[in-house]
Amino acid sequence: MTVHNREIASAFARIADLLEIRGDNPFRVRAYREAARVLEDMTEPVERMVKDGTDLTGIKGIGKDLAEKINAFVETGRLDYLEKLEAEIPASLLELMKIPDLGPKRVAVIYKELGVETVEELRAAIEAGRISSLKGFGEKSEQKIFQALSDTPNKKIHRMLLADVEASASAYQKYMKEQPGVKHVGLAGSYRRGKETVGDLDILVACRDGFEETVMASFVRFEEVERVLSRGPTKSAVFLRSALRVDLRIVEKSSYGAAMHYFTGSKAHNIAIRKLAVRKKYKINEYGVFEGRKKIAGETEAGLYEAMGLRYIEPELRENLGEIEAAKENRLPRLIGISDIRGDLHMHTTRTDGRNSLEEMAAAAKELGYEYIAVTEHSRKVAMAGGLDETRLRKYMEVIDAENEKVDGITILKGIEVDILRGGDLDLPDSVLRDLDIVVGSIHYQQRFPVRQQTDRIIRAMDNPHLQILGHPTGRLLNRREPMDIDLERIIEAARERGVVLELNAQPDRLDLPHNYCKLAAEMGVPIVVSTDAHSTENLLLMKNGITEARRGWLTRRDVINTRPLAEMLGTLRRR
């Protein structure tokens, strides 16, 4: 049996939640939560470290006690401690914790005082007026909880995709900028860090003195606001019709940089920066950096990093995954940007399940300033999407050749997204794959094989010299489907040996390869291609989302093949 880092991380996160509900020592709660975060981002399989006898306390955030728990988990597949907590505390309380306005502490109170364990019981307790009489609750919060329950009737409350937040976020920013007296409007939090999903949106405003009240009034009047959750002189929160929660804070102009830094986070990055400040005998908070009583930075973020003796750290890197050390030693990567991109190597057209024709896709790509695109339809196995068999593919290749003759200023490459079959064979014969410019191989079926079988299947597919790019390598769909059970380190190594390029699929619910493995791939010398998998001309713009994930993976222009001119790009693909 394999135990994945992800599973250990979620066990630890669960322990943290349960301990918090129980009202346990906050340091212990934090230790579990931090360990969960570290494990989630780690690419080296902890299971293997355990089997190799590596001392786990060498991992950041893992002490002796947690190391023992990991060892036990890997060996037995279970955690006595977690089971003990689960026996003690009903699992439904963890669901209650996700309701806005109900953190672990309040859930604990409701549970202990009223015996409420489920959403239904909570609703009944509210209707009986029993919540408002509890200490620390009151009528206002009872109403809020009730409202939250009606907004999210029994459905799981989950984080929104970054791409689904973008339109509201920029509209809100633009709107706030237009208000009288406003000097700066910044979007902070996980949104600014480009995290794949966001819990809530954090907005900061700096305004002229005396305008605070009107700024606040404007904030809650934004047209997309459905409900005001709280309103204070410098801090308010609203709920948009899209179900996005937005926090606003008004800050002093002289502290705007420090506040942007603090509220951009991540929390782990902030804590690490604060530790560094303590070592320098400084104090740092959302108002600035202080040496004794003297404020030495705070108006700008750049100034703050400078005062800390660090190079400026891009928001996408602020996860406390080595960026502070790198900034200290002046070895931060020069992150890739959207303007580095010269082409897109994965897209579909009306020939299968795309919404726009070949001509339209080519024209739109040209409009974006691209040098080349590859049209990569599905192969026959993906019948739902009208996948092509050899005959239809050959016909389409002729159509593409003809189109290429017609259009100027952009090269259309003939490609395929060939399905990787259950045993690792490709869904089309080598005789036709050989005649294509770009062969992307992806798995679309049988995604639930055991780890060994799934990993072998993918490596077997890469053994075919015609497979040049491995498409959406983990198969994850954010909020909907877990990644496949695969040994990605082995796959990346196999890709390196064979000269296979890994795709970072830019679809907002894929972002696959995930950023931590992009980083690993680059470190192992395996190139990445950022592709949109566009099914329409507008979809070509998703490149931006892929680039954000690439930046979170520390990638530079050099690590990504579609930043290169056509001939050079083709030269980086494996020879067949």
Determine the Cα–Cα distance for residues 531 and 546; give it in Å rounded to an integer: 7
**Contact code string over 242-271 relative to Ca ion, x by CB under 5 A:** -----x------------------------
- Render the burial of 539-554: b for 16+ CB within 10 Å, e for the rest: bbebbbbbbbbbbbbb
- Please identify, using beta-carbon distances, which residue of 169 and 461 lies nearer to Ca ion: 169
442 binds, among Zn ion, Ca ion, ligand DGT, none (CB under 5 to 8 A by kind): Zn ion
Angle between helices 104-114 and 119-127 (to 10 degrees): 70
Tell me: does residue 121 bind Ca ion (CB under 5 A). Answer: no
Helix residue ranges, H only, 178-222: 189-193, 212-221
Tell me: does residue 100 bind Ca ion (CB under 5 A). Answer: no
Using alpha carbons, select from 316, 138, 159 the residue that is nearest to residue 244. 159
Tell me: does residue 541 bind ligand DGT (CB under 6 A). Answer: no
Which part of the chain contacts Ca ion (CB under 5 A), choosing from 128-136, 149-157, 186-194, 402-410?
Answer: 186-194
- Please identify, using beta-carbon distances, which residue of 30 and 253 lies nearer to ligand DGT: 30
DSSP string, 248-272: EEEE-GGGHHHHHHHHH--HHHHHH
Instruction: Give the nearest distance from C-beta 186 to Ca ion in angstroms.
Output: 13
- Residue whose token pair is 């320098």: 280
Residues ≥6 apart with Cβ < 8 Å to 281: 291
Instruction: Give the nearest distance from C-beta 151 to Ca ion in angstroms.
Output: 18
Tell me: does residue 267 bind ligand DGT (CB under 6 A). Answer: yes
Determine the Cα–Cα distance for residues 550 and 527; give it in Å rounded to an integer: 12
Tell me: does residue 265 bind ligand DGT (CB under 6 A). Answer: yes
- Residue whose token pair is 């952009």: 410
Sequence letter at residue 497: E
Which part of the chain contacts Zn ion (CB under 5 A), choosing from 186-194, 307-315, 347-355, 439-447?
Answer: 439-447
- Please identify, using beta-carbon distances, which residue of 206 and 467 lies nearer to Zn ion: 467
Strand 283-285 and strand 245-251: the pairing is unpaired
Instruction: Give the nearest distance from C-beta 207 to Ca ion in angstroms.
Output: 20
- Please identify, using beta-carbon distances, which residue of 190 and 464 lies nearer to ligand DGT: 190
Tell me: does residue 236 bind ligand DGT (CB under 6 A). Answer: no
Tell me: does residue 199 bind ligand DGT (CB under 6 A). Answer: yes
Q: What angle do CA 439, 420, 432 make, to 5 degrees?
A: 45
Q: Which two tokens stand for residue 542?
A: 């998703």
Tell me: does residue 190 bind Zn ion (CB under 5 A). Answer: no
List beta partners, residue 289.
Answer: 284, 297
Count of residues in contact with ligand DGT, rule CB under 6 A: 14
Which part of the chain contacts ligand DGT (CB under 6 A), choosing from 191-199, 222-230, 412-420, 555-563?
Answer: 191-199
Residue sitting closest to Ca ion (CB): 189
The single residue among 218, 236, 320, 442 that binds Zn ion, judged by CB under 5 A, is 442
Tell me: does residue 286 bind Ca ion (CB under 5 A). Answer: no
The single residue among 7, 121, 151, 200 that binds ligand DGT, judged by CB under 6 A, is 200
28 binds, among Zn ion, Ca ion, ligand DGT, none (CB under 5 to 8 A by kind): none
Using alpha carbons, select from 470, 458, 450, 388 the residue that is nearest to residue 421. 458
Instruction: Give the nearest distance from C-beta 270 to Zn ion in angstroms.
Output: 38
- Please identify, using beta-carbon distances, which residue of 33 and 444 lies nearer to ligand DGT: 33
- Please identify, using beta-carbon distances, which residue of 218 and 505 lies nearer to Zn ion: 505
Determine the Cα–Cα distance for residues 60 and 51; give it in Å rounded to an integer: 19
Which part of the chain contacts ligand DGT (CB under 6 A), choosing from 54-62, 193-201, 216-224, 437-445?
Answer: 193-201
**Contact code string over 245-264 relative to ligand DGT, x by CB under 6 A:** -----------------xx-
Question: Cβ(21)–Cβ(93) under 8 Å?
Answer: yes
List beta partners, residue 440.
Answer: 417, 469
- Please identify, using beta-carbon distances, which residue of 236 and 379 lies nearer to Zn ion: 379
- Residue whose token pair is 């029994």: 154
For the chain, give the longest Cα–Cα distance.
77
Determine the Cα–Cα distance for residues 114 and 125; give it in Å rounded to an integer: 8
Burial class (CB in 10 A: 0-12, 13-18, 19+), 506: buried
Determine the Cα–Cα distance for residues 419 and 457; give it in Å rounded to an integer: 12
**Contact code string over 195-214 relative to Ca ion, x by CB under 5 A:** -----x-x------------
- Please identify, using beta-carbon distances, which residue of 113 and 353 lies nearer to Zn ion: 353
Tell me: does residue 190 bind ligand DGT (CB under 6 A). Answer: yes
- Please identify, using beta-carbon distances, which residue of 200 and 291 lies nearer to Ca ion: 200
Residues ≥6 apart with Cβ < 8 Å to 93: 21, 107, 111, 117
- Which residues form the interface with Ca ion (CB under 5 A)? 189-190, 200, 202, 247
- Which residues form the interface with ligand DGT (CB under 6 A)? 189-190, 195, 198-200, 202, 262-263, 265-267, 270-271
